Chain A
Amino acid sequence: MKVKNFIITFISAIALLLSTSTISLAKVVGDKIVLGAAVSLTGKYSSNGVHTQNGYNIAVERINSMGGVKVDGKSYKFEIIYYDDESNSGRAAQLAERLIKQDGVQYMLGPYSSGLTKAMAPVTEKYQVPMVEANGASRSLFTKGYKYLFAVLAPANLYLDVAIDTAVEKNGGKPVRIAMAFEQDAFSQDVRLGIVEAAKRTGSKIIIDDKLPKELNDMAATLSKVKATKPDVLVVSGHTKGALTAIRQISEMKVDVPMLAMTHCDAAKLSKQHGKASEYALCASQWHKSLSYRDNYFGGGMEYAADFKKMFDYDPPYQSAESSAALLVFKDAFERANSFDTKKVRDALAATEMQTFYGNIKFAPGGQNISKPMVLFQVICNDDGSKCENKVVAPLKWASAELVHPIPKWSDR
């Protein structure tokens, strides 16, 4: 009898604990709006995962200290529950499930990288939980008809097509010859599609179209082809490894191309690691601190960069800036919805039209941000290569320096 009583008490205690804990961890507790996020704190994406988390944190801190979110006349503060997804997409999907079902989170922030966002989106969609993500640019995220996914960044296929337009413009409006080397992963192949479309639009010809296997860290063969065919533009995208390999081998093999366009220069710390060898590389970026967008929370890009540096002791890469913007979008949507109902918040998100320090934000029906163009910056070094800077050169509206074109030959550098 004693044992039975004991068991009954035990079970009811656990049941009580569970019921209270789900209530206490639900979407809005007291004056707190709880957001959920799985970011990569360990594993191969851990550096960018930390940039993402820092971006979220600085925005939470700023919004909370400036009065929080006003819903129905009451002021609420943001709080984020973080989990480490270990850079693993299976884990990310599990954690999304856990955040929603166990922790009762009703609003989600995105993880780092397209692959992990792709893993989480079906889960948030299933539970109809709005997710504002800032680090998944792959086009396939926006063609699946997701209703609860919103991305503050421009999709991958728009990363480098500005470069092709610029090259055509520099060529006197005549079509150019393009050489491309893209890693075989979802993101880089989306960037490739953007170039293919840009080539079609401008009548340009693609003369080299190499798809680099993921495990490859040698581009010598591709670059020999580039040397032999002398294209007008060389486009490379293969995450940080691709960017570093390309610059190393282009400088070692003395490959002369009038224009070199690539992605992930920022994340690869290209100019820091390669110095003068990386000079004149043209890089796609979602954001640059010199852009003149403004908002009430961070002011402009320069102020954001300074505040970020003060808090985390390094210059913010665009991964942090876009993550901060995700919080501003959520805040705006909550206030316009004036409710915590997920459907109403979702509708408010869909109707977003605002400017942040990071850029203008307006979502297409697919969820991607269509009102913020990509910018291109060029790496410009001083004479001995000890200090290199990223100067925005395109689109012209935001340019802070003139594009150096064509790139001087290696024999003259």
Chain B
Amino acid sequence: MLPSNRGHFFKYLEKYFMDFLIFQAPMLMVQASIDGILLGILFALIAYGMALQWGVMNIINIAQGELVIMGGYIAYFMYLSGIHPAFGVIVSPIIMYFVGVGMYKLVINKVVDRDLFISILATFGISILAQQLMNFAFGADVVVAQSNFGTTMLFDGMVTIPNAKIFSGLVCIIAAIILVIYMKKSKLGRAIRATAQNARAAKILGVNTEKVYASTFGINAALCGIAGACIAITFTLHPYTGLPYTVRSFMIVIIAGLGNLPAVAISGMGLGIFEEWADYLIGTEFRIAAVFSLLVIILVYRRFKLSKKREYLK
């Protein structure tokens, strides 16, 4: 029951909000936001790969998460053999590029012109296969790679940021910038963009679309490889934990739209911050549910806006 008097109302509001830990200790807001941004950047990179592939080939890759985990295992095995796992962000995309191209040549080129549903089924199959293969090859243990990067402390130790997370964030940003420049300036980049706009026209004008598709798939896998190497040093790896990455990148792409890198980055980070804040405000058990509810709200709002536009046109 809210009191009718306005002054009382604000007092009530203040009391209500002071019940939350995050408002009692304001430093937590800084911590939550930084954690959210760093988490979001990582997801944004994976989502950008997905958007690229979706935009160019009209394929939704359900095996995206498995590519990420595979990339992570490459960094993990470098760590096991005594090489610093941070170098994984260079080695893993190179290997993953060829994995991606191989995947295209084996399976995807047979479904690329078909209906979206068929490609979803095909990539779903690949994801199950990849999980089982990784399970056979790497075992079912949860593993981590140690970067020993230490921790950055801010505000007298109140806010702590693991340097491995900062490193991952920077790597993701650099990778995204390189990719944008590559897409704008290089021949292949222009061919990819042309194919995305109109595959048939591009083909008529001499673009080898088959090659474009293969490299797009490879580039996506390479991006996943970078993200995977970052995850190996910041979180944990397990053959069956790819799905959350697929789902999250899918969500980011739905919100941001295809082929729009700044939007992907913003929606990735936005969801990251939203998730961290939701943890403090409504509880850890609801943080992922909260993100999905937000997705529903955004989609409903969009529909509403679209229908208004349609009426105007009428």
Contacts and interface: CB of A to CB of B under 8 A. Distances in A.
B160 A252 contact: yes
A268 B143 CA distance: 8
Nearest to B286: A213
B151 interface: yes
A253 B158 CA distance: 10
B153 interface: yes
Contact of B141 (A221, A225, A240, A248): A240
Contacts of B288: 213, 215-216
Given A43-B140, A46-B139, A274-B146, A248 B236 contact: yes
A274 B144 contact: yes
Interface string B131-160: 010011001111110100001010001101
Interface residues of B, number: 43
A45 B140 contact: yes
B151 A253 contact: yes
Interface stretch (B102-110, B194-202, B237-245): B237-245
Given A220-B35, A228-B25, A273-B144, 12 more contacts: A43-B135, A211-B285, A217-B241, A221-B276, A221-B280, A221-B287, A224-B35, A244-B143, A244-B144, A248-B235, A253-B160, A273-B143
B285 A210 contact: yes
A156 interface: no
A47 B141 contact: yes
A213 B285 contact: yes
Nearest to A253: B160
A407 to B, nearest CB: 17
Contact of B135 (A46, A227, A273): A46
A211 B284 contact: yes
A212 B140 contact: no
A219 to B, nearest CB: 9
A218 interface: yes
A44 B284 contact: no
B207 interface: no
Contacts of B283: 210-211
A253 B162 contact: yes
B135 A241 contact: no
B31 interface: yes
Interface residues of A, number: 41
B271 interface: no
Contact of A42 (B31, B135, B164): B135
A36 B285 CA distance: 39
Contact of A215 (B39, B141, B144, B244): B244
Which among A212, A215, A220 has the highest number of chain B CB atoms within 10 Å? A220
A9 to B, nearest CB: 42
A42 B137 CA distance: 11
Contacts, number: 113
B32 interface: yes
B281 to A, nearest CB: 11
Nearest to B278: A221
B28 interface: yes
Contacts of A387: none
Interface string A252-270: 1110000000000000110
A269 B31 CA distance: 30
Contacts of B32: 221, 224
B240 A213 contact: no
Contact of A224 (B31, B39, B136, B241): B31
Contacts of A245: 235-236
A213 B241 CA distance: 13
A204 interface: no
Query: Which residue, B21, B146, B160, has most C-beta atoms of chain A within 10 A?
Result: B160
Contacts of B132: 42
Nearest to B25: A228
A320 B141 CA distance: 16
Interface string B258-289: 00000000000000000010011001110111
Contacts of B238: 44, 241
Interface string B17-40: 000010011011001100100010
18 contacts: A42-B136, A44-B238, A47-B141, A210-B284, A210-B285, A218-B35, A221-B35, A221-B284, A224-B31, A228-B24, A228-B27, A240-B141, A241-B142, A245-B236, A254-B157, A254-B160, A273-B143, A273-B146
Given A252-B162, A274-B146, A44 B239 contact: yes
A219 B35 CA distance: 10
A240 B142 CA distance: 6
